[in-house]
Structure 1
């Protein structure tokens, strides 16, 4: 006859090994699902930041220079109109950084730190906070007092001015402006 005692012990051992394998597989699956979730969240965050760096830009419009200095006359104030670039989210211009390079002398100006060098004038739009470009139709005139910015020389006849505005999210816009060939005192000029 057959002995059933030894067969039952083998069945219980196999059952214990099977349960242990199922538990290990469940733990491994949990770790994989958790890791996949973390990677997905990180990829989504990176994608949003990258999109902001590319699309959150400021469009630079017209630039007008004013000459109040005399002998020799130089442009000492620049007014630049700015609006949101296509597809950009709202941008606070007081948190943007501005780089001005006038023929060999350059300086980065932080909008929130250098209010005595920069003034914001809302030209178009209904925003209650004049430093924020919220909609595509908002238009802001930003005035830079070149005379009061340390490290920047006033703009002379025929000088090139490189202007860079960087939004807080990282999108940058470049513009190269040229002063007219002759500058007179108390006159305004379009910098092109």
Structure 2
């Protein structure tokens, strides 16, 4: 005999089954939560990796200007600016066909200069020619020894295009004038070059800027 306060064997079985159901439910909830956390962690890791790679490209895939010269010296002014460029230290391949240039000069600013034969309607177009390129990769700088020449023709509306494939823009640079050129690669890395025309350029065919 057992008292009224004692549980019957059937009641004990029901309590055990209920506890088991609760335990299984808790395990399932924990498993689902763990799966969500793992997926979220993987997504965040991928996003942070992509962001890091993009930031790295934007700081490392830069161009380096080796020299800057001015030619087409009519009326004591520079009509063509030429930049010899190479890959910056530690940079990957740089495609000048997808590179843009900004020009800030004494008579105006031009924020979208594109390579010749590219689509769109830029403010002007620059040409790219080979100086040193053993494997013929122009317009891509794929070796630290590669040297390519970027040429900008100044003097929009002068009725004469000196550079084949290039579109002139702005105004020619007179003696003593300065301008700033910003070259931005497809990865977002930028290189700035300030050019200064000598105070006297008469009697010469080219000047160092």
Q: Same fold (TM over 0.5)?
A: yes
1:15 counterpart residue number: 20
1:46 lines up with 2:51 in the alignment: yes
**Matches of 1:133 and 1:165, distance apart in 2:** 14
Whether the 8 Å contact between 2:114 and 2:125 is mirrored in structure 1 is no
Q: Secondary structure at the match of 2:53?
A: helix
CA drift of 1:176 comes to 0.9
Whether the 8 Å contact between 2:114 and 2:126 is mirrored in structure 1 is no
The CA RMSD over aligned residues, in Å, is 1.8
CA drift of 1:147 comes to 2.6
| Higher alpha-carbon deviation: 34-43 or 120-129 | 120-129
Figure out how many residues of one structure are paired with residues of the other and give that number: 188
CA drift of 1:128 comes to 2.7
1:74 lines up with 2:92 in the alignment: no
Whether the 8 Å contact between 1:91 and 1:167 is mirrored in structure 2 is yes
Q: Secondary structure at the match of 1:183?
A: coil
| Higher alpha-carbon deviation: 39-48 or 148-157 | 148-157
CA drift of 1:185 comes to 6.5
Match 1:99 to one of 78, 98, 102: 102
2:114 counterpart residue number: 110
- When normalised by structure 1's length, the TM-score is 0.90
Match 1:143 to one of 135, 144, 151: 151
- When normalised by structure 2's length, the TM-score is 0.83
> What are the ranges of 5 or more consecutive residues in structure 2 without an aligned counterpart?
3-7, 157-166
Match 1:127 to one of 135, 138, 150: 135
Answer with 1 or 2: which has the greater Rg.
2
**Matches of 1:42 and 1:120, distance apart in 2:** 36
Q: Secondary structure at the match of 2:78?
A: coil
Q: Secondary structure at the match of 1:27?
A: helix
1:36 lines up with 2:41 in the alignment: yes
1:164 lines up with 2:167 in the alignment: no
1:152 counterpart residue number: 170
CA drift of 1:151 comes to 5.0
| Higher alpha-carbon deviation: 24-33 or 104-113 | 104-113
> What are the ranges of 5 or more consecutive residues in structure 1 without an aligned counterpart?
none
**Matches of 2:155 and 2:204, distance apart in 1:** 15
RCO higher in structure (CA 8 A, sep ≥6): 1
